[in-house]
A and B are shown apart, each in its own frame.
Chain A
Amino acid sequence: MELTHTRYQVGQRLKHPQFGEGLVVEVHTDRGREMLEVVFGGELRRLSAQREWELVEGSRPVSAAAGPAERARAIHPQGEKALERWRAGDYVPAEQFALRAQAERWARWAGTDRLISLDSLRGVERFSHQIKACLKVTRDLNGRAILADEVGLGKTIEAGIVVKEYLLRGAVRTVLVLVPASLCEQWRAELWEKFELDFVVSRGPAGQWGRHPLVISSLETARHERHRRRVRGANYDMVVVDEAHRLRNHLTLGWKFLNDLNPRYLLLATATPVQNDMRELYNLVTLVRPGTVGTFSQFRRDFLSGHDKRVPRNTPRLRSLLESVMIRTRRSDTDLEFAPRKVEAVWVPQTPAERLLYRKVSDFVADAVHGDAGPGRPHYFTLMVLQKEMGSSWAAAASTLEKLAREPGGLDARRLKLLTTRAQEASRSPSKVRSLLKVLASLGEEKAIVFTQFRSTQDVIVDALIAAGIEPAVFHGELTWREKEDALDRFRTGARVLVSTEAGGEGRNLQFCRIVVNYDLPWNPMRVEQRIGRVHRLGQEHPVRVIHLAARGTIEAYVLEILDRKIKMFELVVGEMEEILGTWQPHGSFEDEVFRRWIETSDTRARKRRFAELGQHLVVARRLYQKQKDQQSWLFPTLAEEEEGKS
């Protein structure tokens, strides 16, 4: 670009009588004539530099219109009403006036040093690092930031607080939250329950774009060709992206879509902004605040070492630049302390009949899945549930087998009937219940929560406990609000045992209990973590005991082996398992992978080998995760360090 010595310079703004205000983006000489290139409302025009165009007052070069603040003043119509009332002599008693003044005080948006949204949160534990992070986002970063806290420190809560803050202050009317498809519902529920933000999940071919001010969607849906234009048309004031490491690659549709969307406020939440290449960090920073680390050529020249794409140079300078775009809190910077946890596996001694039945049903499931080649694999999900039920209770499995036997839909009906009869027989005296009773007896008077995935298993447990003289509190998703509250109240104040399904009180504080018994083991590690999280959370003052009941040779035994022995999941902090799975998971869910490997073969040695491989993959994923974590801890500036620097 050839700069000339005219009165015009790149970055200035000028006024054109016809096109209005425009930004000078280029000044050059064309065949001896000085020319300007100016953008007027999205159109590039060439103007002669010989003419005296009116420059916008205070307009400076390059800063692109850092002129005087565009000011607008308004008098609220209520003022006119107030004066009318005064003119008319319409007075109220002083006490009523004082009440009105109080209402003003409560409704007022505080200064920038206080978050008004904090007063409106329900059931949310507030930690100082979260409040500091939110203040930094709203006050210093003007609503555009990468939230890069280590896992388990509440990035979701921070994003929710910032969204609510902007909504309450009237700076934002429309918000789009982009999350992985599997988390849409979880985000919707959390934003409603904790922040009273009524988001809708955009589904279907029409979507909710522009129809509802607060929308949650998966990135894949929003960027889909069918929706892209309408999402842009909805002109969202604020966009929040969870698991934003999916935007690390600038060549992906997701990155391009978001770069094009360019909302006024943008939050990217990820614990791992860099994985393999510093370019990923550059891409995320450029989405949020273009130019913070220069163009990529400048970034490469200034901050990348030639030999390793993952290793930056000139780190202090890079860290200081990142402070203006990124917020990171490490666990070690906080005062959060978790009680230790101890994990025990209780191996259930199955009777020979139970062992045989388990093998027979597993074989049936494997055969049925392999033969289930119809469109959409109609039985796949039912068969997977049946396999899970066998790890839970014979009663649960018997009920599904019975249903299938009644309506086989192409499955082997004769075999199903036989298996149903045997399962019903086995359910009369299950070994697992006996093991549970032994475990509970060994706990003395200590309170314990017994978790199961299935309602029918829950009934079996409750009946057995009552027969043994233990009156449990029972909690499941079909109870009304009042019944749920009563059940938890009963457990808190009297009952020794709470028997709960998965709906075991998400977000409820049960720290007064320290023992979790997993009567059955979900294959999804996140679910296991959620169960333990009911008691193992901040505020728990005693060591937590987690007891798993499983029989050797079952799918649950393999899963337990991987989670406990291989990747030592129970030593991880909350949220880390999700990160490891995210690092590993190239396709499908962990549950699917477990089931797939189980039904591949009925040979025990081959199964052991296949599960050992899966364990090895996860060990690698854990190492990779640890490496990333270490790398990021020295690269990214943390809030605590910033504060130290300031002081």
Chain B
Amino acid sequence: MSVIAPPARRKRTRPKAAPVQSPGAPPALPEGWREFVGRWLESEGCHMSPAARGDWEVELSPALGRRWRRQRVRLVFDSQRPTLPRGAWFTAPGSTAGRKLLEAGLESPVCTRRTALVRVPGAPENGIAAVCRVRGLTWGPPRLGPVRYERRIAFHVTVTRWGGLPWQEAWVLLLDGSGECLERTRDTELSEVRMRDGLYQIGEDLPPEEREAWIGHAQVHFDRLLEEREEEWERAVARSRDDELARLGAFFTARIEEEEERLRRRTGNGEEAEVEHGDATSLKLEWERRAAEVRQRWALRTELRVWGVSEWSWPVAELEQELRAGAVHVRVQSHVDVARGLPALPACPSCGHHAEMLVRARGSVACERCGPA
């Protein structure tokens, strides 16, 4: 059975009750969830058949059968159904069944080889001008060199941050052969890339030492990523923690003072019964206990989980374009990411740095950094 489309529902013989619109009616399950469950179960070798009310009867594969200690299961996707058939699983992203499914799906890490497909046109019509502005100069027509494929490695990771409300972020770090991090995408996959299976035009396997070098570079970038996420947490969350600790400190300091004052005066007026008692020592101990609890609640803990490595064959090309101003003719070069049709910033002809803007300077071309002020 194909599960890309949900299984057909049983033909209804009775007329349907009129739908009731309520401001708080539970929304349907998130779009794409049902399709994902179908695809995943199919990939695990399960067989699905449609059941009444849009449910699925699933005959589990032997492996999943052993894991969940059952051979068949009925999956219910209707979040409005108040009761379920005996033994059925309500399958939503955070439901018990949904989590079982996801746990099984997330258990093993995966590696793959892919090729990023060339985008047509491989570079913008105006060439380098798309990324680099000029002053007092004119761009000539761009000339795109032949497309070649280079190996890139993407590390797919999930970063979890505890401290306050825990949350997770997915990141992809794309590294080139020199270990430079070419891009960091906050998602589970690289964005705006069409792809196909296998490595195109890259035949030989990576030698072990090169793999190790790549892993070494990746570790550095992982550390950098965690560092940044922790700093962002400090900026966003730490103030709440500090406020809470400050409030607690002020409260207990005042309580201890009040308690000591009370002992000094030893008054027995009627109001005293209303004020909290507790000797100063126990208040001090309680302060420490509560402060420890607050610190624990806000304690930052980060975890990085690499769940996938994808090896890419990535199309790149050289782009050459002439800059003209009167008698001045300078050739400027840039690399083009042909998968996205995007040129990199060109190198400044004078200083060699990446330049966002080029200007005419004393019969030559320079960037803002090395050119005239």
B310 at interface by CB-CB < 8 Å: yes
B102 x A169 contact (CB < 8 A)? no
A108 x B170 contact (CB < 8 A)? yes
Task: List the A side residues contacting B90 at CB < 8 Å.
Answer: 122, 196
Bound Cα distance from A348 to B51, whole angstroms? 48
A343 at interface by CB-CB < 8 Å: no
A106 x B33 contact (CB < 8 A)? yes
A66 x B241 contact (CB < 8 A)? yes
B167 x A39 contact (CB < 8 A)? no
B83 x A44 contact (CB < 8 A)? no
Q: How large is the interface on A (under 10, 10 to 19, 20 to 34, 35 or more residues)?
A: 35 or more
Q: Which residue of B lies closest to A117 (CB)?
A: B94
B189 at interface by CB-CB < 8 Å: yes
Task: List the A side residues contacting B368 at CB < 8 Å.
Answer: none
A87 x B166 contact (CB < 8 A)? no
A100 x B114 contact (CB < 8 A)? no
Task: List the B side residues contacting A538 at CB < 8 Å.
Answer: 22-24
Q: Which residue of B lies closest to A80 (CB)?
A: B306
B66 at interface by CB-CB < 8 Å: no
A101 x B166 contact (CB < 8 A)? no
Segment of B67-75, B125-133, B176-184, B281-289 in the binding face: B281-289
A97 x B110 contact (CB < 8 A)? yes
Bound Cα distance from A264 to B15, whole angstroms? 52
Which residues of chain A from 510 to 549 have any CB-CB distance to chain B below 8 Å in the complex?
Answer: 511-512, 538-541
B268 at interface by CB-CB < 8 Å: no
Q: A69-B299, A95-B197, A538-B24 are in contact. Are A76 and B305 (CB under 8 A)?
A: yes
**B88-131 contact mask (Cβ, 8 Å, vs A): 1 or 0:** 00101111101100100110111111100000000000000000
Task: List the A side residues contacting B164 at CB < 8 Å.
Answer: 112, 142
Task: List the A side residues contacting B245 at CB < 8 Å.
Answer: 63-66
Q: What is the distance, in angstroms, from B12's C-beta to the closest C-beta of chain A?
A: 10
Segment of B134-142, B290-298, B354-362 in the binding face: B290-298
Q: What is the distance, in angstroms, from B348's C-beta to the closest C-beta of chain A?
A: 38
Bound Cα distance from A482 to B83, whole angstroms? 10
Segment of B54-62, B230-238, B316-324, B328-336 in the binding face: B230-238
Task: List the A side residues contacting B98 at CB < 8 Å.
Answer: 106, 120
B249 x A63 contact (CB < 8 A)? yes
Bound Cα distance from A164 to B308, whole angstroms? 29
Task: List the B side residues contacting A10 at CB < 8 Å.
Answer: 249, 253
Bound Cα distance from A143 to B164, whole angstroms? 9
B80 x A123 contact (CB < 8 A)? yes
B266 at interface by CB-CB < 8 Å: no
Task: List the B side residues contacting A71 at CB < 8 Å.
Answer: 230, 299-302
Task: List the A side residues contacting B24 at CB < 8 Å.
Answer: 125-127, 336, 538
Segment of B2-10, B144-152, B256-264, B339-347 in the binding face: B256-264
**A276-295 contact mask (Cβ, 8 Å, vs B): 1 or 0:** 00010000000001111011
A89 x B230 contact (CB < 8 A)? no
Q: Which of A76, A142, A482 contacts B240 (CB 8 A)?
A: A142
Which residues of chain A from 81 to 100 have any CB-CB distance to chain B below 8 Å in the complex?
Answer: 81-83, 85-87, 89-100
Task: List the A side residues contacting B260 at CB < 8 Å.
Answer: 1
A291 x B247 contact (CB < 8 A)? yes
B50 at interface by CB-CB < 8 Å: no
B265 at interface by CB-CB < 8 Å: no
A492 at interface by CB-CB < 8 Å: yes
**A44-78 contact mask (Cβ, 8 Å, vs B): 1 or 0:** 10000000000000000111111001111111101
B270 at interface by CB-CB < 8 Å: no
Q: Which residue of B lies closest to A37 (CB)?
A: B284
A425 at interface by CB-CB < 8 Å: no
Q: Which residue of B lies closest to A283 (CB)?
A: B276
Task: List the A side residues contacting B99 at CB < 8 Å.
Answer: 107, 168
Bound Cα distance from A250 to B81, whole angstroms? 43
Q: What is the distance, in angstroms, from A512's C-beta to the closest C-beta of chain B?
A: 6
A73 x B303 contact (CB < 8 A)? yes
A109 x B167 contact (CB < 8 A)? yes
Task: List the A side residues contacting B95 at CB < 8 Å.
Answer: 120, 122, 196
**B178-200 contact mask (Cβ, 8 Å, vs A): 1 or 0:** 00000000001100000111100
B20 x A509 contact (CB < 8 A)? yes
Which residues of chain A from 101 to 126 have any CB-CB distance to chain B below 8 Å in the complex?
Answer: 101-112, 116-117, 119-126
Q: Which residue of B lies closest to A482 (CB)?
A: B85
Q: A99-B39, A103-B36 are in contact. Are A42 and B308 (CB under 8 A)?
A: no
**B27-44 contact mask (Cβ, 8 Å, vs A): 1 or 0:** 101100100100110010
A42 x B285 contact (CB < 8 A)? yes
Q: A44-B285, A539-B22 are in contact. Are A85 and B111 (CB under 8 A)?
A: yes
A23 x B297 contact (CB < 8 A)? no
A347 at interface by CB-CB < 8 Å: no
Bound Cα distance from A298 to B18, whole angstroms? 59
B275 at interface by CB-CB < 8 Å: yes
- Best-buried of B20, B165, B291 by chain A (most CB within 10 Å): B165
B26 x A125 contact (CB < 8 A)? yes
Q: Which of A61, A74, A111, A264 contacts B302 (CB 8 A)?
A: A74
Q: Which of A93, A97, A107 contacts B308 (CB 8 A)?
A: A97
B197 x A79 contact (CB < 8 A)? no
B297 x A264 contact (CB < 8 A)? yes
Bound Cα distance from A128 to B24, whole angstroms? 8
B208 at interface by CB-CB < 8 Å: yes
Which residues of chain A from 243 to 300 have any CB-CB distance to chain B below 8 Å in the complex?
Answer: 250, 262, 264-265, 279, 289-292, 294-298, 300
B230 x A85 contact (CB < 8 A)? no
Task: List the B side residues contacting A119 at CB < 8 Å.
Answer: 29-30, 33, 92-94
B23 x A335 contact (CB < 8 A)? yes
Bound Cα distance from A26 to B33, whole angstroms? 57
B25 x A539 contact (CB < 8 A)? yes
Q: What is the distance, in angstroms, from B84's C-beta to the closest C-beta of chain A?
A: 8
Bound Cα distance from A163 to B238, whole angstroms? 23
Q: Which residue of A lies closest to B161 (CB)?
A: A109
Bound Cα distance from A62 to B80, whole angstroms? 51
Bound Cα distance from A196 to B108, whole angstroms? 27
Task: List the B side residues contacting A22 at CB < 8 Å.
Answer: 288
Bound Cα distance from A81 to B167, whole angstroms? 23
Task: List the B side residues contacting A227 at CB < 8 Å.
Answer: none
A182 at interface by CB-CB < 8 Å: no
B288 x A39 contact (CB < 8 A)? yes
Task: List the A side residues contacting B350 at CB < 8 Å.
Answer: none
A25 at interface by CB-CB < 8 Å: yes
Apart from A95-B197, A100-B105, A264-B296, 6 more pairs, CB < 8 Å: A39-B284, A42-B288, A44-B284, A122-B80, A250-B276, A262-B290
A-B contact pairs, 29 of them (CB 8 A): A23-B287, A42-B288, A44-B284, A63-B245, A64-B245, A64-B248, A64-B252, A64-B291, A69-B230, A71-B299, A73-B304, A85-B109, A85-B309, A94-B113, A99-B39, A101-B189, A102-B36, A104-B307, A107-B99, A109-B167, A120-B92, A122-B81, A170-B162, A250-B276, A290-B248, A296-B276, A508-B82, A512-B18, A539-B22
Listed in ascending order, the chain A residues whose CB lies under 8 Å from chain B are 1, 10-11, 22-23, 25-26, 37, 39, 42-44, 61-66, 69-76, 78-79, 81-83, 85-87, 89-112, 116-117, 119-128, 138-139, 142-143, 164, 168-171, 193, 196, 250, 262, 264-265, 279, 289-292, 294-298, 300, 335-336, 481-482, 484-485, 489, 492-494, 505, 507-509, 511-512, 538-541
What 8 A-B pairs have minimum CB-CB distances, sorted nearest first? A291-B251, A120-B94, A82-B109, A76-B305, A539-B22, A79-B306, A39-B288, A103-B105
